[in-house]
Amino acid sequence: MIPPAFDYHAPRSIGEAIALLTELGDDAKLLAGGHSLLPMMKLRFAQPGALIDINRIAELRGISEAGGMIRIGAMTSESELAASPLLRQKLPLLPEGALLIADPQVRNRGTIGGDIAHGDPGNDHPAIAMALDATFVLQGPGGERQVKAVDFFLGTYLTALADNEILTAILVAPFRPGTGYAYQKLKRKTGDFATAGAAVVLRIAGGVVTEVAIGLTNVAPTALRAAAAEAALIGKPVNDATLAAVAQAVRLACDPAADLRGDIEYKTAMAGEMVKRAIRTAASRCS
């Protein structure tokens, strides 16, 4: 319950925050919503000497559309994602996913950027971002670079984010009309991390799937983009035979950790089941 002592900084701009990160080195951690970092500090799993609070940086907030892309500031809270009229209309997978994350109080503080930057395979946004083919904007002392969601997650709690960089925004192309989507999450109770989860975005034309992206949650050391499963679905109608093949490809991609949520066999089987359900729901939403 009692976190170790640390110095506290509350910069007002991204530039100031990066300067602090550079100056303080890897003894400093960015404080976003604080609903993963503070719990780890309270259990003394993490003991940073300094916290750089990025809650007072206005340029990290807001959801906007420009140049054919939707830009979501990294400090946008889960509650703001769920309530956003723009996202509900143009990227409804994000509000749907956000409402399956944690609980109302946690969603008021936890941010999409923090959920991604944490790099926990149990978090939901990594797989959702993969299914959306999202791009992450990272800013460091040398300027800005962009990394695709599929290239960002390197291991458990390990991402492409450098020590002196800040994830500033998430860029996603809006759904074209008629796009189907779903996030299916098996959990023991409201507020728990997924036993297994699947995010699906797809398009159907002429009775067959023409485009699909599948992201998997908590069935490997990182979120996964299920490329073989996608290949098993392209050009096929959504029926029992196709879904059996897709689920088999998903099961082969899984490498879950056994824990109180279940053993490897159970989580693997549930990943296949979540994918089938997500595809059926997504297909029913296509037009």
Partner 1 sequence: MSKTLVSMTINGRPVEEAVEPRTLLVHFLREKMHLTGAHIGCETSHCGACTVDIDGQSVKSCTHLAVQCEGSEVKTVEGLANAGVLHAVQQGFYQEHGLQCGFCTPGMLMRAYRFLQDNPTPSEEEVRIGMAGNLCRCTGYQNIVKAVLHAADALQHNTVGA
Residues that bind partner 1 (CB under 8 A): 1-8, 10, 34-35, 38-39, 42-43, 51, 53, 55, 79, 102-106, 108-109, 190-191
Nearest distance from residue 75's CB to partner 1, in Å?
13
Of 10 and 286, the one with the shorter C-beta distance to partner 1 is 10
Of 103 and 163, the one with the shorter C-beta distance to partner 1 is 103
Of 1 and 66, the one with the shorter C-beta distance to partner 1 is 1
Nearest distance from residue 175's CB to partner 1, in Å?
25
Of 104 and 141, the one with the shorter C-beta distance to partner 1 is 104
**In the beta sheet, which residues pair with residue 224?**
216
Nearest distance from residue 104's CB to partner 1, in Å?
5
Burial degree of 10 (CB within 10 A; 0-12, 13-18, 19+)? middle
Contact (Cβ atoms closer than 8 angstroms) between residue 116 and residue 98 = no
- DSSP structural state of residue 45: S
Nearest distance from residue 111's CB to partner 1, in Å?
13
Of 194 and 279, the one with the shorter C-beta distance to partner 1 is 194
CB burial readout 127-163, b (16+ within 10 A) else e: bbbbbbbbbbbbbbeeeeeebebbebbeeebebbbee
CB atoms near residue 235 (< 10 Å): 11
Nearest distance from residue 118's CB to partner 1, in Å?
14
Contact (Cβ atoms closer than 8 angstroms) between residue 145 and residue 239 = no
